[in-house]
Chains A and B, each alone.
Chain A
Amino acid sequence: MSTNAAKNLFIYGSLLCFVVLVILTVDTMGKLDKRAPEITEQVNAGKKVWHKYDCIGCHTILGNGSYFAPDLTKAVERKPKEYLKKFIMDPRTIKPNSAMPKLGLSEKEADNLIAFLDWMDKVDTNGWPPKPILAGAISGKTASTGQMLFQKNDCSACHQINGIGGTAGPDLTHIGNVRPDVEWHIRHLKDPDTVVPDSAMPSFHHLSDEDLRQIGEYLITLK
């Protein structure tokens, strides 16, 4: 190949690729609105809060950003919004050893931000993040009704038992030693605030008394 031929291939080949990219971009832009809910004023205000506090400097969203903190694309999926709001406004009152500092969001900013995260959750991401395919290998056998209810109500979104589960609330591996009283657990699950002032744990008052008792019985076996 002569130098000139190489040069022409470079110039015209690249231009052609760029034109294809522009065409695909136009096509994509036309399709995006159908792949996500409508953007309300509040969602947009929430996005602005996201930028204002540079959340991307620690977190990823849609998998892009910094790798210091969890991805927030599906943050609202497993945790109630009231909890997330409290956490964002003052992480360390809820989780004393949290690596996230208090950034100074106002109540309104936090509400907007949650609306934004709620919008994010509904974006069609082609299935990302995928469900952990090996999760079954470690979840173990379910023994009691209480344990089943623990799983069904996704307590492990916030609590860890034997290293499995989230870290938003305390580790429950030895909760039976710390709080051996079933009645305490029932009261706590019904209305956490009554036993733990200002608790960030969501209330499970919608469960039947029998279910609450079963969970409590299960918890005190964790020693």
Chain B
Amino acid sequence: MKYQSHQIAHNFYTASVLLFLVQIIVGIVAALQFIWPDFFILNFNTIRTLHINALVVWLLMGMMGATYYVVTEESETELWSIPLGHLQFWATVIAVTAVVVGYIVMGLNPQTNMEVFGTRLLNEGREYIEAPRWADILIVVSVLLFLFNCIMTVFKTKKFTAVQGVLLGGLTFLALMYLPGMFYTKSMVKDQFWWWWVVHLWVEGSWELIAAALLAFMLHKLLGADVKVLAKWMYIETGLVLFTGILGLGHHYYWIGTPKYWLWVGGIFSSLEPIPLLLMVWDAFRTTRETRGVVQNKIGLYLTVAHAIFNFVGAGLWGVIHTLPQVNQWTHGTQITTAHGHLAFYGAYVLLIVAMMYVTLPSIKGVKDFNQSRGFLSFWWMTISMIFIVITITGAGMVQTYLERLLGLDYVTVKASYNLWFWIFRAIFGVGFLVGVLILVTDILTLGKKSVAVE
């Protein structure tokens, strides 16, 4: 370990993959509840809340670990404060545990979800941002401590690199965009209006900035590519991400009670959103080709390129197919949305964080060479399973759109009979995905350990 600070990155990675495992296990429970609603003591809503919150939190923790790593390496110094970094890690772990316990208690007895100071004690009852207000505040404090520590580190040596700028800029944007979800409105229309600021401006705004910065970082670290060229393309990509993504927010304002002009704003800007994502794919391929040489960390590069590709396919293609109002009118809120949500999150962010882990863990653990076969094995288990889950759910979405939305059949009939086999296949492929995650967790936790290195 070159820097003591990297221990913090390591801790974040460990917590991150463990939560990933939890996310997938509850995901399979959720999938089974589509077949047997009473499969588990907790109802579907609680299970789903755990699934998507675990997802968001482990990705955030992965990003934090990655950022602690990048900042120390780019600034060539230890963190401004190592104890603060450890404190921030443990505070995050404790807060997350408390929130999860709260969800479970609320799931077992909804009456515990009392109103305190005009907000809910255990579960706010809003998708993705279910965490209650007291937890929101803890999350914001934690992110601020994290940002403060990183920014002070950069100022220590004043090596203002482009990657650090965009990375920390993206993270600041992320912290700011959490705020619109932190107040109560009496109108459900306004509620959803601000809710989308958080959800959309995260995944199609700030998180993409972070992805572009980490992509440039990884391409540089793996291939030794020219920083100047990488930085230029990173700026072009992020510029286009925000140019299309900020007003692309309009694709969520077609039918929620907002004025009609959003159909134009959202339709036009969001259909351009795939362009920067395609540029990132091209960027990854170009850099790899131009700097052809012996790449030691093959799995790292593999995952980096896979991230770029699946970001484009999942977010770009699976997003653009239902983004025009004329299509979205029929597919809005169907399983088509779920198919897109899964492939987009998987390609854009799951693969990004997993790639960062493989790119940085060897230096963190101080090993030059490590057994890469498990990394590949886990990648293929996860990716093939995810592709099949998405095909399955896209099928379910097409059947649902046709029968329910176009023909007018009943929602429950379509779900319980016509789509039954899709639910069964999703659950089966989910188990395949779990196999991949189990291999991943084992590998991340043991990578570079003596017993493995000898193998």
Q: Which residues of A contact B (CB under 8 A)?
A: 1-3, 6-7, 9-10, 13-14, 17-18, 20-21, 24-25, 27-29, 31-32, 35-36, 39, 43-44, 47-48, 50-58, 60-71, 99, 101, 103-104, 116, 119-120, 123-135, 137-138, 160, 163-167
Contact = CB atoms under 8 A, between A and B. Distances in A.
Contact of B412 (A55, A61, A167): A167
Given A3-B228, A3-B232, A101-B43, A163 B193 contact: no
A71 B247 contact: no
A4 B124 CA distance: 44
A99 B189 contact: no
A98 to B, nearest CB: 8
Contacts of B334: 67
Interface in B244-263: 246-247, 249, 252-263
A138 B44 contact: no
Interface string B313-333: 000000000000000011011
A62 B332 CA distance: 9
Contacts of A21: 246-247, 249
Secondary structure type dominating chain B contacts: helix
Nearest 5 CB-CB pairings of A with B:
A57-B45, A51-B125, A132-B408, A128-B255, A63-B333
B270 to A, nearest CB: 13
B111 to A, nearest CB: 6
A7 B162 contact: yes
A103 to B, nearest CB: 6
B420 interface: no
B46 A57 contact: yes
Nearest to B404: A132
Contact of A17 (B44, B130, B242): B242
A134 B192 contact: no
Contacts of B235: 3, 6-7, 9-10
A54 B410 contact: no
Most buried by A among B46, B228, B411: B411
Contact of A32 (B33, B189, B338): B189
B259 A31 contact: yes
A50 B408 contact: no
A4 to B, nearest CB: 9
Contact of A62 (B130, B189, B413): B189
6 contacts: A7-B235, A17-B246, A35-B257, A57-B49, A67-B335, A131-B408
Contacts of A64: 127, 192, 195, 252, 256, 333
Interface residues of B, number: 77
Contact of B243 (A13, A60, A69, A124): A13
B120 A51 contact: yes
Contacts of A124: 257
Nearest to A39: B186
A128 B332 contact: yes
Contacts of B338: 67
A132 B232 contact: no
A21 B253 CA distance: 12
Given A3-B232, A18-B246, A57-B46, A120 B188 contact: yes
B286 interface: no
A140 to B, nearest CB: 13
B186 A32 contact: no
B190 interface: yes
Contact of B246 (A1, A7, A14, A56): A14
Interface of B: 33-34, 37-38, 43-46, 48-49, 106, 110-111, 113, 115, 120, 123-127, 130, 162, 186-193, 195, 228, 231-233, 235-236, 238-239, 242-243, 246-247, 249, 252-263, 265, 329-330, 332-335, 337-338, 404-413, 416
B236 A6 contact: yes
Nearest to B338: A67
A131 B329 CA distance: 10
A212 B208 CA distance: 62
A50 to B, nearest CB: 7
Most buried by B among A39, A64, A163, A164: A64
Contact of B232 (A6, A134, A166): A6
Nearest to B46: A57
Contact of A52 (B110, B162, B192): B110
A128 B263 CA distance: 12
Given A13-B239, A28-B262, A52-B115, 4 more contacts: A54-B125, A138-B407, A165-B410, A166-B410
A57 B44 contact: yes
Contact of B413 (A2, A130, A138, A163): A163
A133 B406 contact: yes
Contacts of B408: 131-132, 134-135, 138, 164
B263 A126 contact: yes
Contact of B257 (A1, A32, A51, A131): A32
B333 A60 contact: yes
Nearest to B229: A3
Nearest to B413: A167
Contacts of B120: 51-52
Nearest to B397: A67
B265 A132 contact: no
B258 A134 contact: no
B35 to A, nearest CB: 10
B189 A135 contact: no
Most buried by A among B38, B256, B265: B256
A104 B236 CA distance: 53
A39 B191 CA distance: 13
A47 to B, nearest CB: 6
B413 A36 contact: no
A71 B247 CA distance: 26
A27 B389 CA distance: 41
B199 to A, nearest CB: 9
Contacts of A129: 255, 332, 405
B410 A167 contact: yes
Contact of A132 (B33, B239, B337, B407): B407
A92 to B, nearest CB: 10
